[in-house]
């Protein structure tokens, strides 16, 4: 089968489109014929430098949509040809955390394409616990755009920050996958949304998704604009995944008793805080790592009903993986960059 693997770490040139043996299906697995696989910044980080648990050669790709090609002897409830997505996570499914539905706290937890091979390939064998049927109305490209970012944003806002109607939410990076999902989820809960974007075109798209206000994070100071919008009160929740470059501004945007929830550190992890500021204003700082199967299924229910919508920026064939990575690194997109695995690329 065709697959993209990395045999060393580095730039886009290390991405090798090549023939490899098809996976051997265990009796307790499901074989998926991959139709589409969305890119995430995780793909860039794993490609550039060794992360714990990554063994070479390695297949990237966290967000898989496709058809069931074969069902293992011990697996029930699935049929060949069924349209599905794969939950973008690996977990043991038998430890106390997994049994309590806290899969992202399992000791074996990792994101698909990180410490385990991912979906940049024609066939992938997975646990049936990770397989979720999708409706015919949802295209494979759109379906692949959902799992990681909507699970992450749902866990941040609902699972960790306890979002409820009437709150004001600041979403950093409206054009990112997590940002796009967070805007929609916040509006689903009837919250007021302030988003940040880097140009007017992206700002307009954020408004179309439901953002009530958009701040140009290149030309305006986020904390000052947030104070103006909120009558100097500040926001209830900040969705932070940028890291060191925005950390101080994010904290200044919070109202007393506000919550900052972070799932990443794209610009660096060296963030500092004045403890007196933290306790005097009674702020909550929450970490959030991907999400649970419950988070994914709850978000998917709204996607299937049309209340949450995947946003696709551009589609590349798997053979053009290097161009896809370079486009993602350019930060020109608004929405997901998706690889189409089988058939001609969709436009």
What is the tens place of the pLDDT at every residue in 264-293?
877 788 888 999 999 999 999 999 999 999
Give percent of the chain with pLDDT exceeding 70. Answer: 99
Tokens of 41: 């910044």
Query: Would you state the pLDDT for residue 277?
Result: 92
Query: Would you state the pLDDT for residue 51?
Result: 82
**Quick check: 344 pLDDT over 70?**
no
From-to residues of CATH 3.90.180.10 in the chain = 2-146+310-340, 150-287
* Nearest CA among 337, 290, 345 for reference residue 105: 290
DSSP of 42-79: HHHHHHHS--TT--SSB---SEEEEEEEEE-TT--S--
Omega cis (within 30) before 57: yes
**Quick check: 52 pLDDT over 80?**
yes
pLDDT tens per residue, range 197-241: 989 999 999 999 999 999 998 899 999 999 999 999 999 999 998
Query: Would you state the pLDDT for residue 178?
Result: 95
Q: What is the DSSP letter of 231?
A: T
DSSP of 146-161: SHHHHHHHHIIIIIIS
* Nearest CA among 149, 152, 105, 156 for reference residue 261: 156
Query: Would you state the pLDDT for residue 125?
Result: 98
**Quick check: 347 pLDDT over 80?**
no
Give percent of the chain with pLDDT exceeding 90. Answer: 90
Query: Would you state the pLDDT for residue 244?
Result: 82
Query: According to the CATH classification, is domain 2-146+310-340 in 3.90.180.10?
Result: yes
The C-alpha atoms of residue 326 and residue 202 are separated, in whole angstroms, by 19
CATH of domain 150-287: 3.90.180.10
């Amino acid at each position: 089968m065709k697959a993209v693997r990395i045999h060393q770490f580095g730039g886009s040139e290390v991405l090798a489109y090549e023939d490899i043996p098809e996976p051997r299906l265990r009796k307790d697995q499901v074989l998926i014929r991959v139709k589409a696989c969305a890119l995430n910044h995780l793909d860039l980080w794993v490609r550039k430098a060794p992360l714990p648990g990554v063994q070479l050669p390695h297949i990237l790709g966290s967000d898989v949509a496709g058809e069931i090609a074969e069902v293992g002897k011990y697996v029930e409830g699935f049929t060949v040809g069924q349209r599905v997505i794969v939950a973008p996570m690996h977990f043991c499914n038998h430890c106390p955390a997994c049994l309590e539905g806290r899969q992202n706290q399992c000791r074996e937890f990792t994101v698909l394409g990180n410490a385990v091979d991912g979906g940049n390939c024609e066939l992938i064998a997975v646990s049936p616990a990770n397989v979720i049927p999708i409706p015919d109305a949802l295209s494979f490209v759109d379906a692949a755009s959902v799992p990681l970012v909507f699970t992450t944003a749902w866990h941040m806002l609902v699972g960790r920050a306890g979002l409820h109607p009437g709150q004001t939410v600041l979403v950093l990076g409206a054009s990112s996958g997590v940002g796009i999902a967070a805007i929609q989820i916040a509006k689903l809960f009837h919250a007021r949304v302030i988003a940040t974007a880097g140009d007017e075109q992206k700002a307009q798209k954020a408004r179309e998704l439901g953002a009530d206000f958009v701040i140009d994070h290149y030309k305006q100071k986020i904390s000052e604009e947030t104070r103006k919008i909120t009558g100097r009160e500040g926001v209830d929740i900040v969705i932070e995944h940028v890291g060191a470059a925005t950390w101080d501004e994010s904290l200044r945007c919070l109202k007393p008793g506000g919550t900052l929830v972070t799932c990443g550190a794209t610009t660096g992890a060296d963030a500092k805080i004045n403890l007196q500021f933290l306790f005097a204003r009674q702020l909550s700082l929450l970490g959030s790592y991907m999400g649970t199967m419950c988070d994914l299924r709850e978000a998917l229910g709204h996607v299937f009903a049309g209340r949450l919508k995947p946003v696709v920026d551009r589609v590349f064939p798997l053979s053009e993986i290097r161009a896809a990575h370079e486009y993602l690194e350019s930060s020109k997109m608004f929405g997901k960059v998706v690889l189409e695995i089988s058939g001609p690329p969709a436009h």
